Amino acid sequence: MRKIHVIVFLLFLAFAAQAQNLKLWYSKPAQHWTEALPLGNSRLGVMVFGGTSREELQLNEETFWSGGPYNNNNPKGREALPKVRELVFQNKFVEAQKVIDENFFTPQHGMRYLTLGSLFIHQPGHEQARNYYRDLNLENATATVRYEVNGVNYTRTVFSSFSDNVIMVRLEADKSKALSFSLSYDSPLKSAVTVKGRKLLVRCEGAEHEGIPAAMH
């Protein structure tokens, strides 16, 4: 029995050592949404594209959905249910499915998750970056971008804090006064951007979906 415990313990140590190196890494920025790296804290989410002269951080939040409250029950379904049961008990599954398709569904198939738009970090002059590297660290849930421009090494780290309920971005350079950037925002939805002090404030309007007008803002 002791031998089995030792083997299990050794396997656990081997797995733990491998887990420390669990990273998705790439040698160029994401060109498409499916190549961006995801982070989140269960309420806030971000897709990190890893650009150099322009970084895109696409944002979403769990309560921001298209459409609004609606009833997705088809009143004909209750009347058709006995017929469906009868066909199922007769092993007539194709016929039962046809009755379901004709009587249970409505034009609404569910509302869709909406993006809050994208925050952009602009760093002009970083177009010709060298030694580019980006990764998603699965051990500590951080997305990191590293590259070199004119002898300066830049690092950008993104993570999402559950306890503080924020998405954080840390910008670093290994030489003094080398950091310079500006911020902007864009969204496929109707939105308005204002600046208040040191805050960039965005108001997004929701979107209609399958005939259900937008209720979220």
What mean pLDDT is reported for the chain?
A: 91
Closest C-alpha among 62, 45, 65 to residue 216: 65
- Each residue of 29-48: pLDDT tens digit? 999 999 999 999 999 999 99
Alpha-carbon span 179 to 207, nearest angstrom? 38
SS3 93: helix
- Residue 121, amino acid: I
- Each residue of 148-185: pLDDT tens digit? 999 999 999 999 999 999 999 999 999 999 999 999 99
| Burial track 26-50 (b if 16+ CB lie within 10 A, e otherwise) | eeebbeeeeebbebbbeebbbbbbb
- Residue 8: pLDDT band (50, 70, 90) is low
Closest C-alpha among 107, 102, 153 to residue 131: 153
- Residue 110: pLDDT band (50, 70, 90) is confident
State pTM to two decimals.
Answer: 0.78
Burial class, 212, CB count within 10 angstroms (exposed 0-12 / middle 13-18 / buried 19+): middle
Closest C-alpha among 40, 11, 9, 20 to residue 162: 40
Q: For residue 118, give both structure tokens.
A: 């994208």
Domain residue ranges of the chain, discontinuous segments joined by +: 22-67+111-204, 73-107
Q: Domain 22-67+111-204, CATH 2.60.40.3140 — does that match? A: no
